[in-house]
Amino acid sequence: MDAIDLQRIIKEGENSLVQFKLKLTKQSADDISAEFVALSNAEGGTLIIGVEDKTGQIIGLSFGELEEYNNLLFNWSTNNVKPAISIFTETLTVNDRQVLVAKIPKGFDKPYCDKNMVYWMKSAANKRRVSPEELKRLFQASGKLYAERTPLYQSSFSDLDFKLLKGFYEKKYNEPMPETQAEVEFLLTNIQLLEGSNLTLAGALLFGKNNHNIIPECCITAIWFVGNNLAGTQYRGSENIYGNIKDQYERGFAFISKAINYIQNGRSFNSLGEPEIPLLVFEELLVNAIIHRDYFINDSIKIFIFDNRIEIRSPGKLPNSITESQIKKGIRRTRNVILTSFAFDILPFRGIGSGIVRSLHAYPDIEFENDAEGEQFTVTIKRPENK
């Protein structure tokens, strides 16, 4: 192996990270372990030892150093990272000098921490401690934590819309609703809508009646702008839409329906006319935003209506490395299992992934943008030119 191999490794690392270390010592344990954690929590990376960090000059390692460093790296990756990770090492000879290359793969058992229970994340070439919100999302992505199961300690059983819950229960299960509060509490605890005396987030989202006080951040912000500029100061209407998911869907849908154009297409003057964009599109995409958004992010869903487009912005990137191309094919992974389970009986929801496919069939001029860094997923529906 020669310099070409080293350049190959560096080039392969363009999609992750390549870092250089000149030497390792036993005192390097905490620093290197933290690097392992940060890389595993991100997209992986490569550590090349025997190269000057600042200049990139190849100094090389002796046979004894290669053997010692291999042992140290495997020891630290096994004992100082929780859960343990598997790294891959190889020795390259470059200009008659040997360097040790350690490849740290993207972790599949996130989140990782060091032996001191500190969680690290990469920030460009550096590492930093993971914030509490980021840690929640790492656990969520791994399927170890769900925002919707979080108990809301400012809530109680009295915050339930009992009429809505009763109608749902009797329709879904075709049997009378239990009569006593104790029986209802037992039922709701079983289906993870209640924990102790508190509603879970899913419980409030599905059947809450005081959500504007309990979870004010879980709402829809709707703005109907004049023109096409997000920074514009003129608008035709705006509304902050609070409530359970049924309330949010119905009022969000009504806001959009009021803002779009209706075309007569040969119909009588007094008829409503056909919508410029099939209403099915907004039905599907709005439900999709409410059900699949990231509820660990304290922000609202945004409905922005412009003269040339309509945007629906959901907090959170697509989960589990899924891509825009995949969701167009009907592939979907949900982060909100409870909401998805009950949505069939509350919203016009037909199943994971199918909504986007139906929307595209009904109206192909739709764009999807997954902003992983900004933690936002945006659907843009292009409006036809006004004739």
What CATH number does residue 252 fall under?
3.30.565.60
Rounded to an integer, what distance in angstroms lies between the CA atom of residue 101 and that of residue 378? 40
Q: Which amino acid, 366? A: I
Do 200 and 105 share a structural domain?
no
Q: Last residue of some domain: 97, 130, 163? A: 130
Rounded to an integer, what distance in angstroms lies between the CA atom of residue 62 and that of residue 18? 22
Average pLDDT for 52-58: 84
Do 318 and 187 share a structural domain?
yes
Highest mean pLDDT among 42-56, 152-166, 255-269: 152-166
Q: Last residue of some domain: 105, 130, 155? A: 130
The neighbouring-strand residues paired with 79 are none
Do 291 and 367 share a structural domain?
yes
Residue 63 within any structural domain of the chain: yes
Do 151 and 124 share a structural domain?
no
pLDDT at 387: 41
Residue 136 within any structural domain of the chain: no
Residue 137 within any structural domain of the chain: no
Q: Is the pLDDT of residue 143 over 70?
A: no
Residue 142 within any structural domain of the chain: no
Do 192 and 75 share a structural domain?
no
Do 295 and 177 share a structural domain?
yes
Range of the domain at 228: 147-387
Spell out where 201-242 has E strands: 220-225, 235-241
CA angle 326, 341, 323 (to 5 degrees): 15
Task: Express each pLDDT in 146-189 by its tens digit.
Answer: 789 889 999 999 999 999 999 999 988 889 998 899 999 999 99
Omega before 83 cis (within 30°)?
yes
Count of domains observed in the chain: 2
What CATH number does residue 52 fall under?
3.30.950.30
User: Position of tokens 């025997």?
Assistant: 50
Q: Which SS3 state, helix, strand or coil, does residue 366 take?
A: strand
Sheet holding 220-225, edge to edge: 235-241, 220-225, 301-305, 309-315, 376-382, 366-371
The pTM score is 0.67
Spell out where 124-202 has E strands: 126-129, 194-195, 198-199
Strands 45-49 and 18-21: parallel
pLDDT at 137: 72
- pLDDT-derived band at 217 (thresholds 50, 70, 90) equals very high
Average pLDDT for 314-341: 83
Average pLDDT for 194-202: 94
Share of the chain above pLDDT 70, in %: 90
Task: Express each pLDDT in 90-121 by its tens digit.
Answer: 998 888 889 999 999 888 878 888 988 888 88
Whether the CB-CB separation of 92 and 101 falls below 8 Å is answered with yes
Do 151 and 272 share a structural domain?
yes
Do 157 and 67 share a structural domain?
no
Do 164 and 120 share a structural domain?
no
Do 126 and 155 share a structural domain?
no
Q: Last residue of some domain: 101, 130, 159? A: 130
Q: Is the pLDDT of residue 261 over 50?
A: yes
Whether the CB-CB separation of 16 and 67 falls below 8 Å is answered with no
- pLDDT-derived band at 1 (thresholds 50, 70, 90) equals very low
pLDDT at 360: 93
Do 223 and 169 share a structural domain?
yes
Q: Is the pLDDT of residue 122 over 90?
A: no
User: How far does CA 279 lie from the centroid of its chain?
Assistant: 27
Residue 17 within any structural domain of the chain: yes
pLDDT at 17: 82
pLDDT at 57: 86
Average pLDDT for 322-349: 82
Residue 375 within any structural domain of the chain: yes
User: Position of tokens 């986007």?
Assistant: 356
Q: Which SS3 state, helix, strand or coil, does residue 51 take?
A: strand
Residue 271 within any structural domain of the chain: yes
Q: What is the DSSP letter of 267?
A: -
Residue 331 within any structural domain of the chain: yes
Do 260 and 355 share a structural domain?
yes
Gyration radius from the chain CA atoms: 27
